[in-house]
Amino acid sequence: MLKLVLLCALAVFATAELSEEEDVLVLNKSNFEEALKAHPNILVEFYAPWCGHCKALAPEYAKAAGMLKAEGSDIRLGKVDATEEADLAQEFGVRGYPTIKFFKGGEKSSPKEYSAGRQADDIVNWLKKRTGPAAAALTEVTQAESLIADNEVAVIGFFKDVESDGAKAFIKAAEAVDDIPFGISSDDAVFSKFEVTEDSVVLFKKFDEGRNTFDGELSKEGLLSFIKANQLPLVIEFTEQTAPKIFGGEIKSHILLFVPKASKDFQDKMDNFRKAAEGFKGKILFIFIDSDVDDNQRILEFFGLKKEECPALRLITLEDEMTKYKPEASEITAENIITFCTAFTEGKLKPHLMSQDIPEDWDKTPVKTLVGKNFEEVVFDPTKNVFVEFYAPWCGHCKQLAPIWDQLGEKYKDSKDVVIAKMDSTANEIEAVKVHSFPTLKFFPAGEEHKIIDYSGERTLDGFTKFLESGGKEGGAPAGEDEDEEDLDLDDVEDDSDEGHDDEGHDEL
């Protein structure tokens, strides 16, 4: 009996260790297993107290936890301070903040990465999709009304026969979309309430025209295209919350209007921007960015803009390589925007490559300073072997490398055929090299072939020296084969202090 009492007491004590803050479970190494047993479906955020993205997520994360708790859901949200719980962070491969993982069915070995937006509704909808039916059965009008009222965007399939081919295609589409709730109904009253007379799919939203009705052939692919084209506002503001939707969407061509929201003519600029957007729906995403917000200054820098130059337009494609475009006309009018976007869709625009002016003393120091305007002349000099560091002024890893790079420049300052150079890639761009992370180190050997070799060895004076003395063989790799490089993500431009520091010592742009 005494043994039983002690076991019960220990069980109560273990459960009590699962403390909460604003309905979010506070997890650590000692109670993590207990949490998974008590709550088989749990979403866990690994955060850092100093992380700006984490601070922005916190109220929405707590709101989502409260929503689920109020519904009586068995899904819970938890959080782990990864700076204090290094073992847990390492166990689950945490490399940036926040990292959010879903543990389903108490299973610890293979959690699923959270992949939706960072607003409460996004979180709740994603979790419900992971634990329930892809589309909720709507047997009453009030259920359909609640689905629409409670969500920014909701999709309802109206099917007289829920076993029909069209209904099955609808369910497949619902299974493929994580961040939007779906409902399906065959109820006559529901059809009547929403003035639907035949099998149909309707997207309801709390912006723009309010609802969109699918008018194509009912197929998974057709429905997904319809949803992706209509789920975002015609014009959307770039914020911490909307960034995942913007960059996670299928539309990879974005036109950005940098404009101070506090300006007197803000609404006039937005009216022109919105008018132009109507003709490019589903082709180009129209985004505006408040140029007065401190957190957005890095994005302006990425496009070579300053606050005083705004309002300004830029267009970017987020395909395999980011490509930027700048309009010829600076005035923000619907006509100018339409002309700019039309030229882009017709393939008539040339990429806009930024370049600083050539400094007068660019070659007066052991490490030569390159900009866009002198880059090719220097690196493709057939008589020189040129080793270049592509850096960002704010990059922590670049700052660590700087003294070593200066030592390397000093070592070869009197060499007749070796040049050590650096280029600020936040202010200069060249066609020949696409920089994906910082610092990026590339070697341009002498000759007429214009060869480019990536450096992937140790970032030490000895490592660099061996690389150069071997002609780019020891510690080198053919350009483009560095598997540790990670792709550019414009979202990371917003705050590099929180994310993007990988184990190989790169700062992503």
> CB of 468 within 8 A of CB of 394?
no
Taking the C-alpha atoms of residue 219 and residue 215, their distance in angstroms, rounded to an integer, is 11
**In angstroms, how far is CA 92 from the centroid of its own chain?**
20
For residue 75, CA distances in Å to 44, 52, 56, 93 come to 11, 26, 22, 23
Q: Which residues, 6+ apart, have CB-to-CB distance to 19 below 8 Å?
A: 25, 26
Taking the C-alpha atoms of residue 452 and residue 472, their distance in angstroms, rounded to an integer, is 10
**Burial (0-12, 13-18, 19+ Cβ within 10 Å), 188:** exposed
Edge-to-edge strands, sheet with 453-455: 367-370, 418-424, 385-391, 440-444, 453-455, 476-478
Question: Which residues, listed in sequence order, are joined to residue 184 by a DSSP beta bridge?
Answer: 137, 157
> CB of 438 within 8 A of CB of 509?
yes
Beta strands in 188-321 (DSSP E): 200-205, 211-213, 235-237, 253-259, 285-290, 312-318
Q: Which residues are catalytic?
A: 51, 54, 395, 398
Query: Within 13 Å and on the Cβ side, how many CA atoms surround 80?
Result: 28
> CB of 288 within 8 A of CB of 259?
yes
